[in-house]
Amino acid sequence: MGRRAAVLTLVTVFSFGTLAACASDDDPGGGETSAGVTTSPTKASPQAASAGDAVGTWGEPNTTGKPSLTLAEDGTATGNDGCNQLSGTWEAGDDGSVTFSPFAATQMFCEGVDTWLSMAASATVDGDQLVVLDASDKQIGTLAKSS
């Protein structure tokens, strides 16, 4: 990728993050991030799930540029946002939600990678999808169950 394309990619990713941070619950817009993950600024409705439903690996582990998250039975959460290693804890709520502690993350810069997963605050299990929400309860992406 040339310097101009890298700068445009960086500006696009920065602009998307800025717009997502400014979106309101009334904003019907949504879109696709540079990582190809469908996002929506609307609130996700909690699904009936248990802690056992959330345990496992979500996303595409060991795939460069693709996010993944492993939720262990002991409450630890580890993964990768497509660039940086993530670690933290998680807890299942009575309503089927999953709440994450703030993730500790490495601080690498990876050109062209959307690191949305590092902003996860909570999630819900919807079948074989983990619907990931930010601190404002807005959907920021989904991860398919891989194991």
Complete domains list, the chain, with CATH? 3-144 (2.40.128)
Is the whole-model pTM more than 0.75? Answer: no
7-44 confidence digits (pLDDT tens): 333 333 333 333 333 343 444 444 444 444 444 444 44
Q: What is the pLDDT of residue 24?
A: 39
Q: What is the pLDDT of residue 94?
A: 80
Cα–Cα dist 120/54, whole Å = 15
Q: What is the pLDDT of residue 93?
A: 87
Task: Show the low-confidence residues of the chain (pLDDT under 70).
Answer: 1-51
